[in-house]
Structure 1
Amino acid sequence: MNIVILDDYQDAVRKLQCADKLDPYAAKVYTNTVKGIGQLSIRLRDADVLVLIKDRTNITRQLLEKLPKLKLISQAGSLGSHIDVQACTERGIAVAQGAENPVAAAELTWALVMASMRRLPQYIGNLKHGAWQQSGLRTAAMPTNFGLGQTLHGKKLGIWGYGQIGKRIATYGQAFGMQVMVWGSDASRLAASASGLEVAESKEQFFSHSDVLSLHLRLTDQTRGVVSSDDLALMKNTALLVNTSHPDLVEKDALIAALNRGHPGCAAVDVFESEPILQGHALLRLENCICTPHIGYVEVDNYELMMGSAFDNVVNFIKGLPSNIVNPGALQVRR
């Protein structure tokens, strides 16, 4: 079995403790990324097994048609829309889902909240250039003394999506003395209410009343573009929007336009429409936006869990004991 592991940006996988699970097999790790179907098909043409790290590469029907040897895709982390599962099933390619821990993403989210509200990246960047206690945030579009930053205590924390990560963010907010307000599906709102949290009366109230608003939704056909330019326009000029979930939750180009208008006042973003993000991207040029390179899940313990579970699924498949297969029909097709 030829095993290929894609997009190990930091060359970390081979140094994980769980990597020894693949020692008996031929595994090739790529530390650079390619996006074109032609380049990917060449890279994967001899692959029997493909291991994906989160959603770094899209596996489309067009690509799958060029990979006749492929038998298994083992997903490190949760499955997303980046894999055409239906096309995999039709071609007899099994897709195995791995495990991951919500702690890493939740903690990165909270780190972005704290850093953004106290303007830490701006202060640190200016200090390195000799400017003492200067955040640099003082344009005409910004409120008076916006650059000083704000504490979290007493502020309203809006959480859209009350799942595993959203629940953790709620407890972090409460620990910092914030008032927590939840919006989302009927199930999210019921769960939040049962937990004693405030539930927004409407999406308009949710956006207009939040001092910090954090998105924690899965991308589906229903949630794609669910945050519109009109929603963002309702936010306070001192408010912070945080997105560590998925870029396509926000209407295309809406956040850039909103930040330029000052509603919300600032944003913190860990996910982008095209990754790796290109140097010079508009969000990177905005002084009121903090950008991190999709590192919500990038942490040693979570990597061990994600990659370890993905490798377990690979080994089980090779041994004829497929595990965590999301499209069992593919196994019948191959037989």
Structure 2
Amino acid sequence: MKIAILDDYQNATPGLKCFELLAGHDVKVFNSTTRGLGQLAIRLQPYDALVLIRERTAFSQALLSKLPNLKLISQTGRLAGHVDVAAATALGIAVAEGVGAPAAPAELTWALILAAARKIVPYANNLKDGLWQTASINPALNGLGFVLRGRTLGIWGYGKIGQLVAGYGRAFGMDVLVWGSQASRERALADGYQAAASRAAFFEQAHVLSLHLRLNDATRGIVTAGDLARMRPDALFVNTSRAELVQPEALEQALQQGRPGQAALDVYTSEPLAADSPLLRIPTVLATPHLGYVEQDSYELYFRHAFQNVVDFAHGAPANINNPDYVRQARRSD
């Protein structure tokens, strides 16, 4: 099969142990992202199978209809709305799902919390310029960091990642406060954590507030400007889940107004994030380039399953197909 691996910014996949699963196939790894429909269609027209790295490229009906040779989309991790599965099904394209693991994004979340709380990045950067114990040359931003022990960690979404982050908070001596569905709050209570009395109380009480929700129609824009305005002026807002969980521009405006006092972010509405993004010009934002799952063990896990799904499909034994009703027939030749 002719296989394309998309959006491998670091050219990491050829160095993975699991890459050998694709031996004997014609594989092309793309290291750059193309956004235009026409450019994507031209780039991807020759391929029988595409391996997607999470949601880095979206596949609409318009794009899929321009890929007459495409038979399989193999997803690393779970689908998250970036592929029009109904359109793929109608066009006879199989969509295979992979697996994920919560450890890497949970650990990155905690790394961001620690780094932001103690101002590690600005201290380290300024030290290289000869500035000792200086977080900022702006006196208003040159305050002390804070410890986590005794403070309140708010977690919205008590799934696998949220549960790990709650455990880290407990280990650091934080009071863990959970908000989310009734089932999430009940699980949190059973695990010995607190459930917020209300959504308003959740935003008002958290010193550190971290989102761990899936993005879907119900959660898109679920964090509002009103929610953020309730946060403490010394609070830290953390988002390693999806940027679209927050109403457009609400966080930028909230930070400029001082509630919350700072943010640590790993996800953005447009990725890769442009160098002139307003977020990068806000001094109280710690931003990382979507590293939640970008580490060795996660890549080996994600890609081993994605590559195996390609191999199984090529051998006529498709597995883990999200749309089993896809038409298994030759694609049109026009």
TM-score of Structure 1 vs Structure 2, range by shorter chain: over 0.9
1: CA distance, partners of 2:245 / 2:328: 35
Name the CA shift for 1:237/1:84 in 2 (closer, same or farther; >3 Å): same
Offset from partner CA, 1:172-215 (integer Å, 9 cap, x none): 00000000000011221121122121000111000000000000
Q: Which residue of 2 is the match for residue 314 of structure 1? A: 310
Counterpart of 1:59? 59
User: Could you state the TM-score of these two structures normalised by the residue count of structure 1?
Assistant: 0.96
Q: Secondary structure at the match of 1:304?
A: helix
Report what 1:42 is aligned to: 42
Q: 1:190 aligns with which of 186, 191, 195?
A: 186
TM-score when normalising by structure 2:
0.97
Paired residues, number: 331
CA distance in 2, matches of 1:279, 1:226: 27
Partner SS for 1:213: strand
Per the alignment, do residues 139 and 224 of structure 1 end up closer, same or farther by CA in structure 2, a change over 3 Å counting?
farther
How many Å separate the matches in 1 of 2:160 and 2:196? 19
Separation in 1 of the partners of 2:280 and 2:137? Answer: 15
1:7-156 maps to which residues of 2 (within 5 A)? 7-136=7-136, 147-156=143-152
Q: Could you tell me which residue of structure 2 aligns to residue 284 of structure 1?
A: 280
CA distance, structure 2, for counterparts of residue 331 and residue 107 of structure 1: 41
Contact 1:50 1:72 in 2 (8 A): yes
Q: 2-side partners of 1:102 and 1:119: how far apart?
A: 26
CA root-mean-square deviation: 1.4
Structure 2 distance, partners of 1:293, 1:317, is 33
Deviation at 1:334, TM superposition (A): 6.4
Q: Distance in 1 between matches of 2:319 and 2:246?
A: 35
Q: For structure 2, which runs of at least 5 residues remain unmatched after alignment?
A: none
**8 Å contact kept, 2:34–2:40:** yes
Q: Distance in 1 between matches of 2:23 and 2:237?
A: 44
Relative to structure 1, the CA distance from residue 263 to residue 131 in structure 2 (aligned partners, 3 Å threshold; closer, same or farther) is: same
Contact map agreement 1:137 1:287 (CA 8 A) in 2: no
Query: Among 235, 252, 257, which residue is 1:239 paired with?
Result: 235
Alignment check: 8 A CA contact 1:71 1:92 kept: yes
- Secondary structure at the aligned position of 1:3 is classed as strand
Q: Is the 8 A contact 1:138 1:147 kept in 2?
A: no
8 Å Cα contact 2:91/2:327 also seen in 1: no
Q: Does 1:163 align with 2:159?
A: yes
Q: Do the aligned partners of residues 48 and 332 (structure 1) sit closer, same or farther apart at CA in structure 2, a change above 3 Å counting?
A: closer
Q: Provide the residue aligned with 1:266 in structure 2.
A: 262
Tell whether 2:225 aligns with 1:220. Answer: no
| 3-state SS of 2:69 partner | coil
Q: CA deviation at 1:14?
A: 0.4
Once the two structures are overlaid, the 10-residue window that deviates more, 83-92 or 157-166, is: 83-92
